[in-house]
């Protein structure tokens, strides 16, 4: 399969880095072959790559569910007066899950790829009711962890301390275009800007997010990097963890630049990318790979 690479603007992100390190062929399907496949009129192989790209596993679905719910509550982007009451995050996430799960059951193979769809529902022999029960239990556990963790303090914060941030957030660093996924931001007592990267982000993801947050805050608000701190919110414990306190900005930038150079080196001189140029992994992750059905390894 050969596709034009120049149709979309190149943008480094942690997810792109993750796919690049995991499997180059998977990276090709995710970032090149699926491009444009949101359109029902796109060629069938593009449409199918896009369908597979947009499937969510349980862990990513939970992250997405709580990201949306907590952002709604924190920025009061919801009509309910009770959004900030104790337990509201878990209740609202549970209600959203029930709506989304019913929609998934009605449209399992997804004519609208923008809707969330769980990979697990498509696995042969899987039970939808067992999956739903498992997710309900996980959502309840996250809701309880949030209530017993740092969330009540965040949600009780006065509105004037809350700082709106787009998510995804595109950050320009010289020639590099990068993306982070902030959950929310606020001004701490003393004036420090604190940005929480999306729910459940891993430690290395948090370190790269810290780098991007500092650049963004400087680009947009001329805020010195030492006055910007990054956190992630752990869905298991409900606790915030700080990142980037010993950040080596130069080293981080070198890694991102090296990543981008490797990725763009596979664009051919005529502006196309060819599946054959993207090496398959050693096979260790193939059994769980979303692209297994289309992979020509």
Which helix (H) or strand (E) segment is 263 a member of?
Answer: helix 249-264
In three state form, how does the secondary structure of 175-231 look?
A: CEEEEECEEEEEECCCCCEEEEECCCCCHHHHHHHHHHHHHHHHHHHCCCHHHEEEE
User: Dihedral of the CA atoms 5, 27, 54, 175 (nearest 10)?
Assistant: -50
Choices 142-150, 160-168, 216-224, 286-294 (CB under 6 A): range interacting with ligand SF4: 286-294
Q: Establish if 212 lies at the interface with ligand SF4 (CB under 6 A).
A: no
Decide whether 254 or 297 has the Cβ nearer to ligand SF4: 297
Q: Establish if 55 lies at the interface with ligand SF4 (CB under 6 A).
A: no
Place of tokens 């957030």: 169
Smallest gap from residue 25 Cβ to ligand SF4 (A): 4
Q: Establish if 281 lies at the interface with ligand SF4 (CB under 6 A).
A: yes
Q: Establish if 25 lies at the interface with ligand SF4 (CB under 6 A).
A: yes
User: Dihedral of the CA atoms 8, 13, 19, 21 (nearest 10)?
Assistant: 120
Among residues 5, 17, 23, 96, which is the contact residue for ligand SF4, using CB under 6 A? 23
Choices 33-41, 86-94, 95-103, 279-287 (CB under 6 A): range interacting with ligand SF4: 279-287
Q: Establish if 278 lies at the interface with ligand SF4 (CB under 6 A).
A: no
Q: Establish if 143 lies at the interface with ligand SF4 (CB under 6 A).
A: no
Choices 71-79, 122-130, 192-200, 285-293 (CB under 6 A): range interacting with ligand SF4: 285-293
Decide whether 254 or 292 has the Cβ nearer to ligand SF4: 292
Smallest gap from residue 277 Cβ to ligand SF4 (A): 14
Exposed e or buried b for every residue in 230-245, given b needs 16+ CB within 10 A?
bbbbbbeebbbeebbe
Q: Cα–Cα distance between 239 and 86 in angstroms, integer?
A: 16
Pairing of strands 55-56, 12-13: unpaired
Q: Establish if 286 lies at the interface with ligand SF4 (CB under 6 A).
A: yes
Q: Distance between terminal CA atoms of the chain?
A: 13
Q: Which residues bind ligand SF4 (CB under 6 A)?
A: 23, 25-26, 280-281, 285-286, 289, 291-292, 295, 297
């Amino acid at each position: 399969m050969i596709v034009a690479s120049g149709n979309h603007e190149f943008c480094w992100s942690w997810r792109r880095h993750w796919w690049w390190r995991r499997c180059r062929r998977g990276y090709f399907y995710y970032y090149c072959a699926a491009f444009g496949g949101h359109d029902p009129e796109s060629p069938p192989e593009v449409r199918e790559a896009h369908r597979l790209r947009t499937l969510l596993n349980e862990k990513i679905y939970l992250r997405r569910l709580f990201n949306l719910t907590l952002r709604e509550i924190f920025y009061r982007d919801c009509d309910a007066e009770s959004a900030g009451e104790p337990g509201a995050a878990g209740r609202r996430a549970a209600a959203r899950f029930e709506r989304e799960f019913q929609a998934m059951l009605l449209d399992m193979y997804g004519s609208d790829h923008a809707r969330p769809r769980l990979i697990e529902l498509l696995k042969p022999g899987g039970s939808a009711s067992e999956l739903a029960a498992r997710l309900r239990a996980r959502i309840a556990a996250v809701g309880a962890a949030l209530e017993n963790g740092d969330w009540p303090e965040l949600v009780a914060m006065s509105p004037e301390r809350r700082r709106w941030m787009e998510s995804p957030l595109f950050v320009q660093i010289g020639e590099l275009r990068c993306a982070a996924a902030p959950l929310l931001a606020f001004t701490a007592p003393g004036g420090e800007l604190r940005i929480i990267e999306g729910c459940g982000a891993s430690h290395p993801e948090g370190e790269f997010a810290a780098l991007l947050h500092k650049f963004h805050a400087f680009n947009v608000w001329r805020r010195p990097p030492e006055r910007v701190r990054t956190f992630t919110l752990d869905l298991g414990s409900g606790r915030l963890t700080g990142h980037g306190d010993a950040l080596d900005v130069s080293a981080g930038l070198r890694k991102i630049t090296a990543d981008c150079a490797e990725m763009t080196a596979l664009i051919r001189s005529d502006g196309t990318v060819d599946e054959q140029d993207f090496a398959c992994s050693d096979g260790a992750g193939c059994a769980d790979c979303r692209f297994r059905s289309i992979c020509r390894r």
